[in-house]
């Protein structure tokens, strides 16, 4: 009787070990490694931008599948890049908010990117890395700096937009020092097959735009613009435009990705529509 009980215990523990080992093998199976890349990309496409960005840190395979998921996404994107001076703790960090908020954005994705102009040399790399994930579906880019200070945007940034954003239809520049942009980039912008409008609003050193007469999309404005909203399309009012950066440990279904949670968003940096009129420099 005693030997029978011992045999039973041995069999029980043997089966138990086998089950545990089987469960461990199942848990160590990487689904992304096992699935075809195309299927994995379709699955990851259902996740938010923030969640996919986190998954890129797992390993090279997950990064590859996550980037493919971004490539097969065909929803149009509006990009707002807002430079501001905010010399508080963490102002040198970049904050990104991806939004589908509001009825006007149901059919498009909006990227709000807040940067510090005096640290653009640090932001340029992460900014371009982000734009590369969206470049194939960006249709509008609005770049705002308040106030105009110095030329920190390199020519390569504008050249990148001309070469790598095939669906780009609209560029709006406000209070930017354009000293570094060259005529070769103007040629690339003029030859862009989809670009319909390039508005240079209250910018400095924009002569290279005016000198290049083969850029029919160009509109240079020195004063305020009447009907700015109608010109660049519908967008949030200043109080709606401002969104508080979210922390990286926010709820999984959030669509906001905050690279820095310390940057406070100011409504003064939002693109505003003025009701007062000033003279247009010229329109082409």
| Shared domain check, 231 and 172 | yes
pLDDT computed for residue 243 by the predictor: 36
132 and 212, same domain (yes or no): yes
The reported pLDDT for the residue numbered 142 is 92
Q: Which of 101-110, 139-148, 174-183 has the lowest average pLDDT?
A: 101-110
Q: Is 268 left (phi over 0), alpha (psi -120 to 50) or beta?
A: alpha
Task: Report whether 257 contacts 98 (CB < 8 A).
Answer: yes
Please provide residue 223's backbone torsions phi and psi, each rounded to the nearest 5 degrees: -100, -160
SS3 sequence, 172-236? EEECCECCCCCHHHHHHHHCCCCCCEEEEECCECCHHHHHCCCCCCEEEECCCCECHHHHHCCCC
- The 3-state DSSP class for residue 77 equals strand
What is the domain extent for residue 60? 35-73
Give me the number of domains the chain comprises: 3
Could you give phi then psi for residue 160, rounded to 5 degrees?
-60, -45
> Nearest CA to 268 among 110, 137, 145, 154?
145
Residues 114 and 146 in one domain: yes
Q: Are residues 173 and 80 in the same domain?
A: yes
- What mean pLDDT do residues 116-138 have? 87
In the predicted structure, residue 21 carries a pLDDT above the cut 80: no
Same domain assignment for residues 42 and 108: no
Q: Is the pLDDT of residue 27 over 90?
A: no
Q: What are phi and psi of 282, to 5 degrees?
A: -170, 165
DSSP state of 86: -
Whether pLDDT at 28 is above 70: no
Q: What is the mean pLDDT of residues 119-124?
A: 84
Please name which of 145, 129, 165 lies closest in space to residue 271, comparing C-alpha atoms.
145
Contacts of residue 88, defined as CB under 8 A and 6 or more positions apart, other chains included, come to: 262, 264
CA distance 148 to 150: 7
Residues 45 and 175 in one domain: no
What integer pLDDT is reported at residue 164 of this predicted model?
Answer: 94
pLDDT for the residue numbered 212: 64
| 147, 44: one domain | no
Does the pLDDT at position 144 exceed 80?
Answer: yes
* pLDDT above 80: residue 84: no
Residue 25 pLDDT > 70: no
C-beta of residue 146 within 8 angstroms of C-beta of residue 173:
no
184 and 261 co-located in one domain: yes
Shared domain for 91 and 189, answered yes or no, is yes
Q: CB of 163 within 8 A of CB of 188?
A: yes
54 shares a domain with 140: no
Write out pLDDT tens, residues 244-258. 333 333 333 333 443
Predicted pLDDT at 33: 67
Whether 195 contacts 219, CB under 8 Å: no
Domain check: are 68 and 92 in the same one?
no
Q: Tell me the whole-structure pTM to 2 decimals.
A: 0.64
Which pLDDT score, from 0 to 100, does residue 261 have? Answer: 28
- Same domain for 180 and 263, yes or no, is yes
């Amino acid at each position: 009787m005693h030997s029978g009980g011992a045999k039973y215990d041995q069999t029980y523990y043997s089966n138990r070990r086998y089950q545990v080992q089987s469960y461990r093998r199942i848990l160590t199976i990487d689904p992304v490694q096992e699935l075809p890349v195309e299927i994995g990309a379709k699955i990851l496409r259902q996740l938010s931008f923030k969640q996919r960005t986190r998954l890129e840190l797992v390993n090279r395979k997950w990064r590859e599948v996550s980037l493919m998921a971004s490539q097969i996404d065909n929803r149009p994107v509006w990009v707002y890049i807002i430079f501001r001076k905010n010399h508080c703790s963490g102002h040198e960090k970049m904050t990104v908010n991806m939004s589908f908020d509001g009825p006007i954005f149901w059919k498009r994705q909006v990227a709000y990117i807040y940067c510090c102009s005096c640290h653009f040399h640090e932001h340029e790399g992460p900014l371009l890395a982000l734009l590369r994930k969206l470049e194939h579906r960006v249709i509008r880019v609005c770049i705002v700096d308040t106030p105009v200070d110095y030329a920190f945007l390199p020519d390569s940034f504008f050249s990148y937009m001309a070469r790598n954003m095939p669906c780009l239809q609209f560029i709006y520049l406000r209070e930017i020092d354009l000293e570094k942009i060259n005529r070769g980039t103007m040629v690339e912008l003029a030859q862009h097959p989809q670009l319909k409008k390039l508005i240079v609003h209250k910018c400095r050193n924009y002569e290279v735009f005016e000198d290049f007469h083969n850029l029919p999309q160009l509109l240079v404005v020195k004063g305020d613009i009447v009907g700015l909203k109608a010109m660049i399309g519908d967008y949030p009012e200043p109080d709606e435009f401002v969104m508080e950066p979210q922390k990286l440990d926010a709820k999984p279904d959030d669509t906001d990705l905050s690279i820095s949670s310390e940057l406070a968003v100011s409504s003064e940096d939002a693109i505003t529509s003025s009701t007062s009129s000033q003279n247009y420099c010229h329109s082409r």
